[in-house]
Amino acid sequence: MSNKKPVRVAVTGAAGQIGYALLFRIASGEMLGKDQPVILQLLEIPDEKAQNALKGVIMELEDCAFPLLAGIEAHSDPMTAFKDTDYALLVGARPRGPGMERADLLAANAQIFTVQGKALNAVASRNVKVLVVGNPANTNAYIAMKSAPDLPAKNFTAMLRLDHNRAASQIAAKTGKAVGSIEKLAVWGNHSPTMYADYRFATIDGQGVKALINDEEWNRNTFLPTVGKRGAAIIAARGLSSAASAANAAIDHMRDWALGTNGKWVTMGIPSDGSYGIPKEVMFGYPVTCEGGEYKIVQGLEIDAFSQECINKTLKELTDEQDGVKHLL
């Protein structure tokens, strides 16, 4: 038994497929530590089928008898689901199906995040750490942040960690090295095929990854498209979008933000502070380190011409998405 005070963790879309891969790991202490009790505040839409499914998930959570699970609540209204919450994982949104582009989701999902941003603004802990997973994640996080003017903008983040983990895995396969030995990997920009996974600074056991791979053709024509289109490849193969790997990335993101990275670089989608010429407040994937519950952008990296081109492209997509939702803010 832990004598730490329980923290409140809100999860939306709790009866969905990511929810099913996520909640059990949060409750077992994989996200916030094996000594940190949690109270789960679960939100689903006020629809009989979704609420029933949520009841089933809650029964299963109960049946795990997790020692760290100090309470479970089912909600259908964000104003109660987010009450005093310390962490909010905004997963609930419509996922892409085969043949759908991310832009199709913007119209369907944007409204959810104005409502939820306002609710967080009204009732969440003033230190709430928010992770948006629901797509298009960066722009939804931007909408939520803009809808919550009384909370610090830096508390709103978007999930780029799945892209980061996918990139690491591709590099491990290419080099034949252990995925856990890769450091200093960066993913810039939008969680979309325009993201720029950048291994120019990455090392494996102190050796430079760029020199180790030494294949610019592979970087441009295999690596970047493979990482960028991995979500679509999974939808094509499974008929459903990635769920277990997305949940895993959400756990990684929140754990590192809350508990720190010991100097290691990770990727988070965060509101820009102007670093690397990205306009302020654009919700952009950056390499960061985390310490004491705060993230810090890795500064001073050289951006060469190809990288700048990639960054400009993903930035343009993000500013276009933001323009597309202006009327909601």
Ligand X SMILES: O=C([O-])CC(=O)C(=O)O
Q: Which residue numbers belong to the known binding site?
A: 13-19, 96, 102, 109, 116, 133-135, 166
Binding residues for substrate: 96, 102, 135, 166
Kindly list the residues in this chain that would bind ligand X in the complex (CB under 6 A): 95-96, 135, 162, 231-232, 234, 241-242
Burial of 189 by CB count in 10 Å (0-12 exposed, 13-18 middle, 19+ buried)?
A: buried
102 in Cβ contact with 138 (< 8 Å): no
Indicate the DSSP class of residue 221.
Answer: I
Indicate the DSSP class of residue 148.
Answer: -
Measured from the CB of residue 197, what is the shortest distance to ligand NAI in angstroms? 13
As a whole number of angstroms, the distance between CA 14 and CA 159 comes to 17
158 forms bridges with which residues in the sheet? 132, 269
234 binds, among ligand X, ligand NAI, none (CB under 5 to 8 A by kind): ligand X
In this structure, the number of other CB atoms found within 10 A of the CB of residue 272 comes to 18
208 forms bridges with which residues in the sheet? 203
Of 16 and 37, which CB lies nearer to ligand NAI in the complex structure?
A: 16
As a whole number of angstroms, the distance between CA 237 and CA 229 comes to 12
Among 145, 156, 121, residue whose Cα is nearest residue 257: 156
Among 41, 89, 59, 66, residue whose Cα is nearest residue 255: 89
Of 64 and 240, which CB lies nearer to ligand X in the complex structure?
A: 240
As a whole number of angstroms, the distance between CA 178 and CA 167 comes to 13
Phi, psi of 313 (to 5 degrees): -70, -45
Selecting among 75, 191, 253, 327, the annotated active-site residue is 191
- Helices 17-27/244-259 angle, 10° precision: 40
Binding residues for NAD(+): 13-19, 109, 116, 133-135
269 binds, among ligand X, ligand NAI, none (CB under 5 to 8 A by kind): none
193 binds, among ligand X, ligand NAI, none (CB under 5 to 8 A by kind): none
Measured from the CB of residue 131, what is the shortest distance to ligand X in angstroms? 14
Kindly list the residues in this chain that would bind ligand NAI in the complex (CB under 6 A): 12-13, 15-19, 43-45, 50, 91-96, 112, 133-135, 137, 159, 162, 191, 241-243, 246
As a whole number of angstroms, the distance between CA 11 and CA 301 comes to 35
Measured from the CB of residue 303, what is the shortest distance to ligand NAI in angstroms? 24
Measured from the CB of residue 78, what is the shortest distance to ligand NAI in angstroms? 7
Active site residue 191: yes
Measured from the CB of residue 91, what is the shortest distance to ligand NAI in angstroms? 5
Q: Which residue has its beta carbon closest to ligand X? A: 231
Q: Which residues are catalytic?
A: 191
